[in-house]
Amino acid sequence: MNVVVVGSGIAGLTAALHAHEAGHTVTVVTKGGLGGGCTPLAQGGVAGSYGPGDGPATHAADTISAGAGLCNPAAVDALVADGAARIAELLARGVAFDRAPDGSLARGREAAHAHARILHAGGDATGAAISAALCAAIQRASIPVREGTTLLDLVVEEGRVRGIMVLRDGDTAEIRGDAVILATGGAGQLYAHTTNPPEATGDGIAAALRAGAAVADLEFVQFHPTALPGTPVFLLSEAVRGEGAVLRDQEGRRFVFDSHPDGELAPRDVVARTIARQAARQGAPVHLDATALGADALARRFPTIDRVTRARGFDWSRAPLPVTPAAHYLMGGVVTDRHGRTTIPGLYAVGETARTGVHGANRLASNSLLEGAVFGARAAAALDRPWSAAGDITPCPSPTDSADADVAPEPLPAFDRAGMQRLLWDEVGLHRTGSGLQRALRIVRGWAAETPPPSDARAHEDRNLLRVAEATIRAALARPVSVGAHHRDDPAPAAPTPAHAPILETA
């Protein structure tokens, strides 16, 4: 079988390696260079290494709790059941996870985890270590990689995906495949402040939407609570708070306890919204205070953060750092079953591109790298199965436009990406209202209608961002109640609307 994998993060490369090792012919297509995207930027670790008193069931319970109960339990069970094998595989491929003094794997704890179960590499360079190991494995296997190649659209013939259309060096081309695995990451570039790299423009999700694949949960965008303002925004790992750093307001008070009994270790959506409210209230950034950890401990445990913050003129061992929330992770995406299969035969989706159901309304810290490894391998294993034997997917209901707000017409501003990002940040960000969402929907639709056909890679990215933006706004309008990472400032309706239909599967 000829398999085309689009994307070169942990999910795509894991899928490519497993497909190759199963005897399939594999081609990897990536917009940047091999090993680009979000994976090498991941400072946090991989959840799933269990110590005394911990185990898969507890990890699953924490995942579902963080997801506000909207996770698919079968998908969560698959994640925790396969986690140990995928971690062992990463070790075998050469990922040097950090060790305790006795030689055992060192486990860290992060927000909303009941136990220390998170592995790191290089202190705060886990993603970079994983990416390097997987890229080396791809090269050893001589799997062809087409770098600098932008996904344009899926090729669908007689109801089945048969390949992709791509753009490279200004020329379009078709790459045929018996199966296509989308692993293109999320859509952080929708927002004015994001920890995502420039290539995170929702290409796979937009292509899947145009092909008619089901998507779900795009309203659930996770904003990381602590990013260092600047160009670019720089992520300050949640593990810093896990190690004991605290958040302080202008008066030096630990204000997050006002919103949640777990304080700095509350779920990310709670911490992010609390930071945003406090910063607005005091008219200045809040600060992350890690001074109690000491210079030596900070440099040893977080060498990347230590290096970057010092290069930007901060000494975080002596003074707290200003922080802001930033768009970080998309819980929704292309709907799949537990094996990465979508609603279109021949099309698979893994990693942040996919909506596996693992994350529900809010991703548990350090589950993303694990999800990429687990479902990348599961998708590759499903290539040999007849599509009709797969578990069934019940498509989520299509959002309908809400009529709960009357917004005065306004002239359509000229489109540019920065303006779109400001619009999404203001109206579809941490705090949302019906009127703001309706305003954003009108503007995004106007831009999409007036945008000329794309002629280069950036124009194709803009087309994709507008497509995903519209779907995200419609999903947010269709959920008038606050849950997880989706927060509505409108008064709650008398009865909450039902959650999206679950994914129903067979063994």
Which residues are CB-neighbours of 176 under 8 A, at least 6 positions away?
Answer: 2, 4, 155, 162, 163
Phi, psi (5° rounding) for residue 315? Answer: -115, 95
| Burial class of residue 73 (count of CB atoms within 10 Å of its CB; 0-12, 13-18, 19+) | middle
Rounded Cα distance between 249 and 256, Å, is: 9
Residue 190 tokens, joined: 């929708």
CB 36 within 8 A of CB 197: yes
Distance (Å, rounded) from C-alpha 233 to C-alpha 253?
25
- HEC states along 412-431? CCCCCHHHHHHHHHHHCCCC
- Residues with Cβ within 8 Å of residue 244, at least 6 apart in sequence: 290, 292, 293
Give the span between the Cα atoms of 18 and 183, in whole angstroms: 14
State which amino acid sits at residue 252.
G
- DSSP sequence for 77-109: HHHHHHHHHHHHHHHHTT----B-TTSSBPEE-
Token pair recorded at residue 346: 């021949």
Helix/strand/coil (H, E, C) string of 279-341?
HHHHCCCEEEECHHHCHHHHHHHCHHHHHHHHHCCCCCCCCCEEEEEEEEEECCEEECCCCCE
d(CA 362, CA 219): 11
Active site residue 268: yes
Q: What is the dihedral of CA 151, 213, 221, 382, to 10 degrees?
A: -80
Cis peptide before 101 (omega within 30 of 0): no
Per-residue DSSP letter, 70: -
The secondary structure of the chain in percent helix, strand, coil, rounded to multiples of 5, reads 35, 20, 45
Residues 6+ away with beta carbon under 8 Å from 467: 202, 206, 209, 210, 448
- Give dist(CA 249, CA 390) in Å, integer: 52
Which of 268, 273, 439, 474 is an active site residue? 268
Just list the catalytic residues: 268
